[in-house]
Chain A
Amino acid sequence: MSGLDQIFVWIGHRAAGWFPASVQPLVSAVLAIAGVMAVFGTCFALTTLAERKVLGRMQNRFGPNRVGPYGLLQPLADAVKMLTKEDIVPFSADKTLHFLAPLVLTVPVWLAFAVLPFGRNMSAINLDAGILFFFAVGSASELAVFMAGWSSQNKYSLVGAMRAIAQMISYEVPLVLSVVPVLMLAGSLELNDIVAAQGTYTFGGLARWNVFTPWGLAGLILFLIAATAESNRSPFDLPEGESEIIAGFLTEYSGFKYALFFLGEYLGLFAVTGLAVTLFLGGWHAPFQWLEWVPSWFWFAAKFGALIFLFIWVRATLPRLRLDQLLNFSWRFLVPLSLINLLVAAAWYWTGAWKFPVVAPIRWLLCAALIALPYHWLGRALRGAMPPPRKYIYAE
Chain B
Amino acid sequence: MLNEIAFLLCAALTLAGAVAAMMLRNLVHCALCAAGAFAGLAAIYLQLDAEFVGFAQLLIYVGAIAILIVFTVLLTRGAEIQPGAASSASSWWKGVPVGALVLACLIWSIMASPSLVRLPSPNVHAPVKQIGEQLMNQFVMPLETIGLLLTAALLGAVVIGLREPRTSEPNS
Contacts and interface: CB of A to CB of B under 8 A. Distances in A.
Establish whether A and B are touching in the complex (CB under 8 Å): yes
Interface of A: 94, 97, 127-129, 132-133, 135-140, 142-143, 146-147, 150, 158, 162, 165, 169, 172, 187-190
B134 to A, nearest CB: 15
Interface in B32-71: 32, 35, 42, 51-52, 55-56, 58-59, 62-64, 66-67, 70-71
A169 B67 contact: yes
Contacts of B28: 94, 97, 150
A146 B32 CA distance: 10
B10 to A, nearest CB: 16
A165 to B, nearest CB: 6
A142 B61 CA distance: 12
17 contacts: A128-B52, A129-B52, A129-B55, A133-B51, A135-B59, A136-B42, A136-B55, A137-B58, A139-B58, A139-B64, A140-B58, A140-B63, A143-B66, A143-B70, A146-B70, A150-B74, A172-B63
B128 interface: yes
A127 B63 CA distance: 20
Nearest to A165: B67
A229 to B, nearest CB: 16
Contacts of B166: none
A165 B62 contact: no
Contacts of B128: 128-129, 132, 188-190
A187 to B, nearest CB: 7
B59 A139 contact: yes
Given A136-B59, A142-B63, A143-B66, A129 B129 contact: no
A43 to B, nearest CB: 26
Interface residues of B, number: 24
A132 B51 CA distance: 10
Nearest to B126: A128
A146 B67 contact: yes
**Considering residues B55, B58, B64, B127, which has the most beta carbons from chain A within 10 angstroms of its beta carbon?**
B55
B129 A143 contact: no
A140 B62 contact: yes
A139 B60 CA distance: 9
B128 to A, nearest CB: 5
Contacts of B42: 136
B32 A128 contact: no
A127 B58 contact: no
A147 B32 contact: yes
Contacts of B64: 139, 169
B67 A143 contact: yes
In the complex, the 3 A-B pairs of residues with the closest C-beta atoms, listed nearest first: A139-B63, A136-B58, A136-B55
Contact of B74 (A138, A140, A162): A162
